[in-house]
């Protein structure tokens, strides 16, 4: 089931089942980021991850910082005015529309997430600035065609013009047998030349023992989690043109200020690429 929400529909949101009895990645990230929209199952699984990877909260923050840097680059130097944010997460400081519209007030953003908590917070994502516009679709990456044809998206974005697609810390939630590369490709193929995609993804390569432990913990929590190697992450970009510095640890992608002393401290691969 999908629910679309834009500014004109913000007053008519239906009640939703928040499913607080099972952990969800968006609420775990909220917990790691110090938010308050999380519940005991989310905190329990978040703490299990932290036992295996003590720096997991740092990693969550670094993913958020990457999102900000990537969106600022796309809205600024690349001139992108439309964004499609898959796996939005619970609203916090530095949401995509806030970053984009601070650079270009007319930026338009469509958010997509499958956590009903995010739907419940969707009005916060509607707090647009200037002449820009924001919208939210309650949908799943496993159904990319439904995302692309949702009337909320088609009213908000013009897919004949370039779009900045963000897939930050979301592709690892799709199992290999569900073909995450194919799901991402459906979205990417629908975008016009001159579009960009920004991706982060946890990597096996950084610490296989720790990654194996979090995969085991995720399985016990009934959550799919699939870390992947750098080559597997690079495959998501297909034949799009990777921006410098390519597929690198998330802390090493165009850092603000001085380069980090240890860019491998956050176990995520990252990259941004342009469609020719």
Q: What is the predicted pLDDT for the residue at 4?
A: 60
Q: Which residues of the chain have pLDDT under 50?
A: 1, 8-13
DSSP 25-47: HHHHHHHHTT-S---HHHHHHHH
Q: Which tokens in the block code for residue 189?
A: 């193929």
CA separation for the pair 134, 152 (Å, rounded): 10
In 3D, which of 17, 4, 47, 13 has the Cα closest to residue 220? 47
CA separation for the pair 236, 234 (Å, rounded): 5
In angstroms, the first-to-last Cα distance of the chain is 34
Q: What is the predicted pLDDT for the residue at 10?
A: 44
- Cross-strand pairs, 134: 109
DSSP state of 256: S
Q: Are 135 and 170 in contact (CB under 8 A)?
A: no
Residue where the block lists tokens 């199992």 = 175
In 3D, which of 219, 167, 224, 159 has the Cα closest to residue 197? 167
23-46: burial string, b at 16+ Cβ within 10 Å, e else: bbbbbbbbbbbebebbbebbbebb
Q: What is the predicted pLDDT for the residue at 163?
A: 98
What beta strand segments (E) does 31-188 contain? 82-86, 108-113, 133-138, 164-168
- Cross-strand pairs, 55: none
DSSP 170-231: -GGGS-GGG-HHHHHHHHHHTSPTT-EEEEEEEBTTT-HHHHHHHHHHHHHTT-----B-HH
Q: Are 202 and 227 in contact (CB under 8 A)?
A: yes
CA separation for the pair 31, 37 (Å, rounded): 7
φ, ψ of residue 71 in degrees (nearest 5): -65, -40
Q: What is the predicted pLDDT for the residue at 94?
A: 86
Q: What is the predicted pLDDT for the residue at 270?
A: 98
Q: Are 73 and 254 in contact (CB under 8 A)?
A: yes
């Amino acid at each position: 089931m999908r629910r679309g929400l834009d500014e004109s529909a913000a007053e008519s949101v239906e009640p939703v089942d928040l499913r607080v009895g099972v952990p969800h990645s968006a609420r775990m990230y909220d917990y790691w980021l110090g938010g308050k929209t999380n519940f005991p199952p989310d905190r329990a699984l978040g703490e299990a991850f932290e036992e295996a990877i003590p720096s997991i909260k740092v990693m969550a923050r670094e993913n958020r910082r990457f999102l900000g840097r990537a969106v600022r680059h796309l809205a600024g130097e690349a001139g992108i005015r439309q964004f499609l944010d898959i796996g939005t997460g619970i609203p916090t400081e530095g949401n995509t529309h806030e970053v984009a519209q601070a650079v270009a007030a007319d930026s338009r953003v469509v958010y997509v997430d499958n956590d009903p908590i995010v739907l419940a917070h969707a009005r916060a994502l509607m707090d647009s600035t200037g002449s820009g516009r924001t919208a939210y679709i309650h949908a799943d990456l496993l159904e990319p065609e439904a995302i692309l044809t949702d009337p909320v998206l088609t009213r908000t974005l013009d897919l004949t013009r370039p779009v900045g697609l963000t897939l930050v810390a979301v592709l690892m939630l799709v199992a290999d047998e569900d073909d995450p590369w194919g799901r991402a490709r459906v979205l990417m193929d629908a975008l016009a030349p001159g579009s960009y995609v920004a991706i982060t993804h946890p990597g096996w390569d950084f610490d296989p023992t720790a990654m194996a432990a979090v995969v085991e913990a995720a399985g016990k929590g009934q959550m799919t989690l699939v870390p992947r190697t750098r080559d597997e992450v690079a495959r998501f970009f297909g034949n799009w043109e990777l921006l410098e510095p390519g597929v690198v640890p998330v802390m090493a992608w165009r850092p603000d200020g001085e380069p980090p002393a240890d860019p491998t401290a956050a176990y995520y691969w990252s990259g941004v690429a342009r469609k020719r």
